[in-house]
Amino acid sequence: TQTSWGYSKENGPDRWHESYPIAKGNNQSPVAILTKDVYKDPILLPWFTSYDPGAAKNILNNGRTVRVAFDDTFDRSVLRGGPLQGIYRLRQLHIHWGSTDDRGSEHVVDLTRHAGEIHIVHWSTKYSNYGDALKKPDGVAVLAILLQVGKTLKPEMKRIVEEIDAIKTKGKEAPFPNFDPSILFPQNRSYFTYQGSFTTPPCEECVTWIIMKEPIIVSADQMAKLRSLSSKTADELHCPLVDNWRPLQPLNNRMIRSPCQ
Ligand code: GRE
Ligand code: ZN
**Cα 92 to ligand 1 centre (Å):** 9
pLDDT digits (tens, 9 = 90+) for 12-45: 999 999 999 999 999 999 999 999 999 999 999 9
Residue type, position 211, single letter: I
Collapsing DSSP to helix, strand or coil, 123 comes out as strand
Q: Where are the alpha helices (DSSP H) in 1-87?
A: 16-19
ipTM: 0.98
pLDDT digits (tens, 9 = 90+) for 96-110: 999 999 999 999 999
Residue 71: pLDDT over 50: yes
Q: Are strands 108-109 and 78-81 parallel, antiparallel or unpaired?
A: unpaired
Report the distance separating Cα 47 and Cα 43, nearest Å: 13
> Which residues place a Cβ less than 5 A from the ion ligand 2?
119, 199
Mean pLDDT score, 60-82: 98
**Cα 68 to ligand 1 centre (Å):** 12
Answer whether 117's CB lies under 8 Å from 106's CB.
yes
Dmax (CA) for the chain in angstroms is: 55
**253: burial class by Cβ within 10 Å (0-12, 13-18, 19+)?**
exposed
Answer whether 105's CB lies under 8 Å from 117's CB.
yes
Q: Which pLDDT value is given to residue 2? A: 59
pLDDT digits (tens, 9 = 90+) for 118-143: 999 999 999 999 999 999 999 999 99
**Cα 151 to ligand 1 centre (Å):** 28
| Lowest mean per-residue pLDDT among 123-127, 148-152, 199-203 | 148-152
Answer whether 117's CB lies under 8 Å from 245's CB.
yes
Q: Which ligand 1 atom minimizes the distance to the CA of 106?
A: 11
Provide the β-strand partners of residue 53. none
- Pocket of ligand 1 from Cβ distances under 6 Å: 94, 119, 121, 140, 142, 198-200, 207
**Cα 38 to ligand 1 centre (Å):** 23
